[in-house]
Structure 1
Amino acid sequence: MVTRIHVGGDRPYDVLVGRDLAGELPGLIGDAARVAVLYSAPLRSRAERIAEVSGARVTPIEVPDAERGKTVEVAARCWDELGAAGFTRTDVVVGVGGGAVTDLAGFVAASWLRGVRWVPVSTSLLGMVDASVGGKTGVNIAAGKNLVGAFHPPAGVLCDLDALATLPADDLTAGLAEVIKCGFIADPAILSLIEGDPKAAADPGGDVLRELVERAVRVKAEVVSVDLKESGLREILNYGHTLGHAIEKRERYTWKHGHAISVGLIFAAALSRLSGRLDDATSARHRAVLEMVGLPTAYGQEFWDELLSAMRVDKKARADTLRFVVLDGLAKPGILTGPDEDLLRAAYAEVAR
Structure 2
Amino acid sequence: MKALVYTGPKQVKVKEMKVPEKKKGMIRLEVQYCGVCGSDIGIYMGTHPRAKAPLILGHEFLGIAAEDGKNIKKGDRVVPYPLLSCGTCLACRTGNQHVCNTLGLLGIDMDGGMCETVYVDEDVLFRVPDEVSDEVAAVIEPLAVLVHGLHMSGFQTLDRAVVAGAGPIGMLCGILLKYAGASKIWISDVMEKRLEIAEKLGLTPVDPAKQDLEQLVKEETNGEGCDAFFECSGAASVAKQMTDVTRVRGKICMVSVHKQPHEVNLRDLNFKEQTIVGTRVYTKEEFAQAATLTKDLEAELRQIVTHVVPLTESEKVFDMIADPECGTIKVVVDCRS
TM over 0.5: no
Q: Which has the higher helix share?
A: 1
Larger relative CO (CA 8 A, sep 6+): 1 or 2? 2
TM-score, with structure 2 as normaliser:
0.28
The TM-score with structure 1 as length reference comes to: 0.27
